[in-house]
Amino acid sequence: MSGVAEYAVDEARSRGRKHREASPSARSEFQRDRDRIVHSTAFRRLEYKTQVFVNHEGDLFRTRLTHSIEVAQITRSLARALRLNEDLAEAIALAHDLGHTPFGHAGQTALNDCMRPYGGFEHNLQSLRTVELLEEHYAQFDGLNLMYETREGILKHCSRANAQQLGELGERFLKGEQPCLEAQLANLADEIAYNNHDVDDGLRSGLITLDQLESVDVFAVQRREVETTYPGLAGRRLIHETIRRMINLMALDLIAQTNANIHEHQVETLDDVHRAPRLVAYSAPLLPKLKELKSFLRENLYHHYQVLRMTDKAKRIIADLFGAFMADPRLLPPQYQLRAEDDTPRAIADYIAGMTDRYAMREHRRLFAIGEIY
């Protein structure tokens, strides 16, 4: 691959796909993966799944879909700067939230609580399950039949027990090895996106204020820079200029530190990447500033009473749905009733995880509201 580092993933040396297919004629294998992800049903549903604010609360807040697109943009830009495989990095970024439940992290927590006696629920594993089994687009196989490296990159975390059941995808967890740099990069690009864009959505909603953010160094310093460069600037332009600089600061820091780590550990091949410590990282001086930002968002936005009210409702909706379907699997749609014959709890989890916010609320009304007929 021209212009790409030796330690980047080269599709010519890939472990390939589970099911053999003819090579694409006008695009790379990882471009094909990206395209399959974008055209998947699960990707389309992300438009109506919560990031922080439940979908119906406002048209301008981010959803899982807009978040995934923003993560993909950041990932691709960083991959180019680091001379990595841009198409693979973008595909991983676009797929990273395919298995997320409705109602964001509240939905995941609730579904994991319901599934605890049956192996638990984790959205990264569900994303992998989605692309390997649940998508129904092709005559020859279940799922999307993605390249090995794309599937590996989707799986950020995995317990030893689950890894033992995943075959070759679980090997790196059992051996204590790292994924490719493209996967590591998508993971931190996700963090860059949600840290900054949650600030934006929090300000837009009025749940946090510019005055409160003065206590967060990484925001306050960038704001001062904007106000010095553009005296009198206010409103949305001030916010956007500040957040743009925050994203740039984090991205440039990550590029510099990652290159330094690659040099320090004398990484020359993909095998070196797998054996080295985690290489994609921020610098030591920036880490406490990012921790401060995360703490601020957790305390002032994610734990804001208005957000907690909605997440509490969300948890009850998920728990109620799971309980009703477990009590009588005949309430499930026909295709999930068939899956339930083999594993009822997992079939229910698949159904609930695939719901959008508004579909979950509608399904809850159908099952529990007096007067709802269908």
Which pLDDT score, from 0 to 100, does residue 165 have?
86
Which pLDDT score, from 0 to 100, does residue 100 have?
93
Q: Provide the Cα torsion 41, 44, 49, 54; round to 10°.
A: -140
Please tell me the distance from the alpha carbon of residue 302 to that of residue 306, in angstroms, as a whole number.
9
pLDDT value at 61 more than 80: no
Residue-wise burial string across 66-92, b where 16 or more C-beta atoms lie within 10 A, e elsewhere: ebbbbbbebbbbbbebbbbbbbbbbbb
Distances (CA, A) of 100 to 61, 193, 242: 18, 17, 30
pLDDT band at 184 (very low <50, low <70, confident <90, very high): very high
The predicted model gives 58-68 an average pLDDT of: 77
Domains and CATH numbers, the chain: 11-16+25-307 (1.10.3210.10), 308-368 (no CATH)
79-138: pLDDT as tens digits: 999 999 999 999 999 999 999 999 988 899 999 999 999 999 999 999 999 999 999 999
Residue listed under structure tokens 């998920």? 318
130-149: pLDDT as tens digits: 999 999 999 999 999 999 99
**Please, what is the average pLDDT of the chain?**
93
pLDDT band at 162 (very low <50, low <70, confident <90, very high): confident
HSE-CB of 99 using CA atoms within 13 angstroms: 26
pLDDT band at 363 (very low <50, low <70, confident <90, very high): very high
Low-confidence winner among 150-164, 217-231, 259-273, 285-299 (lowest mean pLDDT): 150-164
23-40: pLDDT as tens digits: 999 999 999 999 999 999
- State phi, psi for 339 to the nearest 5 degrees: -65, -35
Long-range pairs, 303-307, Cβ under 8 A, ≥24: 304/207, 304/208, 306/207, 307/52, 307/53, 307/207
Query: What is the sign, positive or negative, of the torsion defined by CA atoms of 285, 289, 290, 291?
Result: positive
Q: What is the pTM of this model?
A: 0.93
DSSP secondary structure letter of residue 130: I
Which pLDDT score, from 0 to 100, does residue 58 have?
47
